[in-house]
């Protein structure tokens, strides 16, 4: 154990880092929290600010449009992170097999993730373009559709199309983390299981997956947080349309702040969204703890 | 006495000297849009002319899509001296920008005689509560463009005078199989759709607000939405219009895939340019039609002005630049993509040459330009209308229900 002096030293060494951390995270957070209880507006002149208690929160929580935006965000998060997980693991397992050209493929697969979100969004918008987009052309030539159709202009498909673009961009991250984890799975364990007659699926389910669960969880938490605050891809691809069908919580906050200039009210929406993200993260952590406690079962 | 005079003279000279040194090394940051109206090339060449005439003053130009313009202006307000010195702003923002103190009041800088020399509709672009927050620059409205070849093949000799007539002609064209969808619009969930909606509302003699209360649930505004929906239901409007912006409208029309299109001035020159268009030489333009018994033509005020953000440290130089860009001579020289704000320009041979039909249409349209609601919360009102009208166009709800819902939501605005 550390002595008294060493303890002091430890805090002294930590102090600068903690000070900077507090400055860049705690101050804005406290400021946002304070804003959310006021009627502050963005102006270029000094305007009176009033403390209005919970009014912003009551307005936000009774706003059906915001509730709808929250559900949409949840849908986006669950579906896109879910697909990224499945696709990521599948690709990682494939890339973990020895075959010719594996190295090239491993390098190629990271490309979508390396593309900036804005570029990705613009590219997919062109792919979905109703008159000359590649998707229509492909499906038409395969005989799967008889007429060119609108993809992100149709509220019944728009959200899923945005999700597809997001999955394409982000699954490589999951795949890479999973691939790294897969390389630590002990080969002899898998061989022993194979000799015992365990099917490939059973081996994957009972040995591989629990083995890589830890790193996988980290990347899934990361992706969940990112997905929950999705903004840029929506802004570029659909701007929340058609008929609000892709308007997510972050987009809502952005509008409240920068379009309607109500920073007080916008802050309350932001606090609510941050709160929900915190809950999601807690769920993941408790799952991780249970996983660790339960061993490889 | 003499000493005082000397002192006054001296300080005046000193001020002058300071002013000229400030003028000598200044870089102005100017924000423009790269969409409709003047092209980037036009603005660059006007700016080069200004720089040549004002040695020492440089202008750094930034072009953003229209959709980003509002937020850029707001965000830069907190940038202190590093913000913009000149910004392009839309007719729908002065109320909001004036109440928030984002733009400098320039009423005193504008010469009194300008008031009569510039169109009334142009002035509304920069005015709020009797003050002026900039100089109007782009005097624009949506015109009806038509493809003369398609109309001739359908046996139509005159472009439509009313919206009902437009529908009849569109039906004729569709029946003859000349194009699948005779009409194309910018009906994405955006301000572009509200401009078309406003044009149709003006034609139907409708109102957005009456004594501060939403009035768009009945009358002309409701008829406008019903009309939009009807053209979709009949297959006269290209269904992809529901995700189009102005540039998409231009592309579809320039490909010869539509007989009629509503768009801004800039499309006239581009749709008639063989490099940009397959229908060059077959494009004519008229004022947007009216509605029998209610109007003879319709038009939305889609003008834009140039202003000085409140945090600009170079207001004088900025004003010099704005005055340069908005002067009649410059506007007359660049009158292909955007028309001048000056009444006298419309009889200038160099403005009229080669675009006589556009000038004729402009004379008619400018006289009936209809404003979108002039309220500080306009952005939110517009968003609410966009969403609800879009729902109607996408068959999710009826016009009555949607407009009722929009009115309820507008009343909730804080």
> Given this model, what pLDDT does residue A294 score?
57
> Given this model, what pLDDT does residue B412 score?
87
Mutate which: A67, A242, A247, vs B, most B CBs within 10 A: A242
Q: Which fold has domain B143-300+377-411?
A: D-Maltodextrin-Binding Protein; domain 2 (3.40.190)
Cβ contact B188–A130 (<8 Å): no
Q: Which fold has domain A53-293?
A: MetI-like fold (1.10.3720)
In this complex, the residue of B67, B311, B391 whose CB is nearest that of residue A44 is B311
Cβ contact A44–B189 (<8 Å): no
Confidence of residue A258 (pLDDT cuts 50, 70, 90): confident
Cβ contact B394–A59 (<8 Å): no
Query: Residue A264: closest CA among chain B residues belongs to which residue?
Result: B414
Shortest Cα distance, chain A CAs vs residue B198, angstroms: 19
Query: Domain B26-140+302-362 is of which CATH architecture?
Result: 3-Layer(aba) Sandwich (3.40)
Mean pLDDT on B31-50: 92
- Has residue B87 got a pLDDT over 90? yes
d(CA B412, CA B414): 6
What ranges in A154-261 are assigned the alpha helix state H? 158-182, 187-195, 200-203, 209-228, 232-237, 249-254
DSSP character for B103?
B
Give the CA distances from residue B57 to residues A248, B51, B314, B327, B330, in Å, rounded to whole numbers and listed in that order. 44, 6, 10, 18, 18
Give the β-pairing of B26-33 and B86-90.
parallel
Cβ contact A153–B71 (<8 Å): no
Cβ–Cβ contacts within 10 Å for residue B56, how many?
A: 14
- Has residue B16 got a pLDDT over 70? no
Cβ contact A243–B189 (<8 Å): yes
Domain ranges (residues) in chain B? 26-140+302-362, 143-300+377-411
> Given this model, what pLDDT does residue A281 score?
82
Question: What percent of chain A shows pLDDT beyond 70?
Answer: 97
- Has residue B302 got a pLDDT over 50? yes
Contacts for A161 with CB less than 8 Å, ≥ 6 apart: A124, A128, A151, A152, A237
Cβ contact A153–B243 (<8 Å): yes
Shortest Cα distance, chain B CAs vs residue A241, angstroms: 6
d(CA B295, CA B292): 6
In this complex, the residue of B102, B243, B387 whose CB is nearest that of residue A244 is B387
ipTM of the complex as predicted = 0.79
Mean pLDDT on B300-323: 95
Q: Which residues of B touch A129 (CB under 8 A)?
A: none
Range in A45-54, A65-74, A285-294 the model is least confident about: A285-294
Confidence of residue B17 (pLDDT cuts 50, 70, 90): very low
Shortest Cα distance, chain B CAs vs residue A174, angstroms: 33
Mutate which: A56, A128, A153, vs B, most B CBs within 10 A: A153
Task: Say whether residue B74 is in contact with chain A using an 8 A CB cutoff.
Answer: yes
Task: Say whether residue B101 is in contact with chain A using an 8 A CB cutoff.
Answer: yes
- Has residue A161 got a pLDDT over 60? yes
Confidence of residue B18 (pLDDT cuts 50, 70, 90): very low
In this complex, the residue of A130, A241, A259 whose CB is nearest that of residue B390 is A241
Q: Which residues of B touch A150 (CB under 8 A)?
A: 239-240, 242-243
Cβ contact B188–A155 (<8 Å): no
d(CA B270, CA B278): 11
Mean pLDDT on B349-356: 91
> Given this model, what pLDDT does residue B13 score?
47
Question: What percent of chain A shows pLDDT beyond 90?
Answer: 55
Q: Which residues of A171-204 are buried (b: 16+ CB within 10 A; e: fewer)?
A: bbbbbbbbbebbeebeeeebeebeeeebeeeebe
Average confidence score pLDDT of chain B: 91
Domain ranges (residues) in chain A? 53-293
> Given this model, what pLDDT does residue B21 score?
46
Give the CA distances from residue A196 to residues A15, A184, A193, in Å, rounded to whole numbers and listed in that order. 55, 21, 5
- Has residue A287 got a pLDDT over 60? yes
pLDDT in tens, B100-157: 999 999 999 999 999 999 999 899 999 999 999 999 999 999 999 999 999 999 999 9
- Helix or strand or coil: residue B122? helix
Mean pLDDT on A56-61: 93
Cβ contact A44–B390 (<8 Å): no
User: In chain A, what are the helix, strand and coil shares in percent, each to the nearest 5?
Assistant: 70, 0, 30
Contacts for A206 with CB less than 8 Å, ≥ 6 apart: A193, A198, A296
d(CA A278, CA B56): 54
Considering A93-102, A206-215, B170-179, the range whose residues carry the highest mean pLDDT is B170-179
Cβ contact A242–B67 (<8 Å): no
- Residue pair A234/A159 in contact (Cβ under 8 Å)? The answer is no
Q: Which residues of B touch A239 (CB under 8 A)?
A: 67, 189-190
Task: Name the CA radius of gyration of chain B, rounded.
Answer: 23
- Has residue A156 got a pLDDT over 60? yes
From its phi and psi, is residue A179 left (phi > 0), alpha (psi between -120 and 50) or beta?
alpha
């Amino acid at each position: 154990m550390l002595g008294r002096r060493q303890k002091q030293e430890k805090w002294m060494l930590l102090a600068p880092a903690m000070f900077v951390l507090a400055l860049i995270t705690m101050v804005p957070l406290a400021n946002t929290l304070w804003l959310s209880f006021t009627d502050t507006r963005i102006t270029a002149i000094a305007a009176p600010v009033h403390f209005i208690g919970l009014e912003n929160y009551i307005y936000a929580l009774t706003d059906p449009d915001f509730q709808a935006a929250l559900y949409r965000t949840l849908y986006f998060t669950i579906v896109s992170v879910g697909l990224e997980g499945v696709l990521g693991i599948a690709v990682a397992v494939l890339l973990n097999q020895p075959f010719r050209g594996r190295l090239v493929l491993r390098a190629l697969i990271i490309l979508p993730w390396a593309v900036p979100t804005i570029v990705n969004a613009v590219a997919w918008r062109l792919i979905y373009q109703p008159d000359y987009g590649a998707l229509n052309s492909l499906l038409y030539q395969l005989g799967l559709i008889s007429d060119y159709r609108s993809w992100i202009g149709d509220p019944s498909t728009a959200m899923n199309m945005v999700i597809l673009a997001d999955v394409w961009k982000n699954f490589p991250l999951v795949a890479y983390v999973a691939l790294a984890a897969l390389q630590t799975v002990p080969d002899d364990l898998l061989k022993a299981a194979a000799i015992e007659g365990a099917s490939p699926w059973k081996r994957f389910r009972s040995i591989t997956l629990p083995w890589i669960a830890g790193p996988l969880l980290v990347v899934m938490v990361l992706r969940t947080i990112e997905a929950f605050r999705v903004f840029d891809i929506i802004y570029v691809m659909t701007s929340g349309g058609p008929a609000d069908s892709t308007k997510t919580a972050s987009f809502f906050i952005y509008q409240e702040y920068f379009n309607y200039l109500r920073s007080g009210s916008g802050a309350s929406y932001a606090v609510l969204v941050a709160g929900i993200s915190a809950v999601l993260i807690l769920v993941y952590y408790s799952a991780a703890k249970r996983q660790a406690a339960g061993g490889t079962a | 006495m003499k000493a005082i005079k000397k002192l006054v003279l001296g300080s005046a000279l000193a001020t002058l000297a300071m002013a000229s040194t400030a003028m000598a090394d200044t870089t102005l940051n100017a924000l423009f849009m790269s969409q409709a109206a003047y092209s980037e090339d036009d603005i660059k060449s006007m700016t080069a002319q200004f720089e040549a005439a004002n040695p020492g003053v440089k202008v750094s130009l930034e072009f953003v899509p229209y959709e980003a313009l509002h937020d850029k202006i707001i965000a830069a307000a907190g940038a202190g001296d590093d913000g913009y010195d000149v910004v392009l702003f839309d007719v729908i923002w002065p109320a909001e920008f004036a109440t928030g103190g984002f733009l400098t009041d320039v009423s005193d800088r504008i010469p009194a005689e300008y008031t009569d020399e510039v169109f009334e509709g142009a002035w509304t672009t920069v005015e709020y509560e009797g003050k002026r927050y900039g100089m109007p620059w782009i005097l624009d409205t949506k015109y009806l463009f038509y493809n003369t070849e398609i109309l001739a093949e359908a046996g139509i000799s005159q472009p439509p005078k009313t919206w009902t007539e437009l529908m009849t002609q569109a039906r004729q064209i569709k029946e003859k199989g000349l194009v699948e969808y005779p009409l194309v619009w910018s009906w994405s969930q955006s301000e572009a759709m509200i401009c078309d909606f406003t044009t149709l509302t003006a034609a139907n003699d409708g109102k957005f607000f009456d004594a501060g209360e939403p009035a768009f649930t009945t009358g002309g505004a409701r008829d406008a939405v019903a009309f939009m929906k009807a053209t979709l239901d009949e297959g006269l409007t290209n269904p992809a219009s529901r995700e189009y912006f102005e540039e998409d409208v231009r592309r579809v029309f320039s490909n010869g895939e539509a007989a009629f299109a509503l768009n801004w001035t800039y499309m006239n020159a581009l749709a008639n340019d063989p490099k940009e268009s397959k229908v060059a030489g077959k494009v004519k333009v008229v004022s947007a039609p009216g509605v029998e018994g209610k109007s003879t033509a319709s038009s939305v005020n889609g003008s834009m002005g140039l202003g000085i953000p409140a945090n600009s440290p170079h207001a004088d130089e900025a004003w010099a630049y704005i005055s340069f860009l908005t002067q009649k001579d410059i506007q007359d020289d660049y009158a292909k993509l955007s028309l001048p704000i000056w009444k006298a320009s419309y009889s200038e041979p160099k403005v009229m040459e080669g675009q006589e039909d556009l000038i004729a249409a402009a004379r008619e349209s400018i006289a009936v330009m209809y404003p979108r609601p002039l309220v500080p919360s306009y952005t939110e009102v517009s968003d609410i209308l966009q969403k609800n009208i879009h729902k109607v166009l996408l068959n999710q709800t009826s016009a009555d229900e949607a407009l009722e819902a929009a009115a309820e939501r507008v009343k909730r605005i804080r």
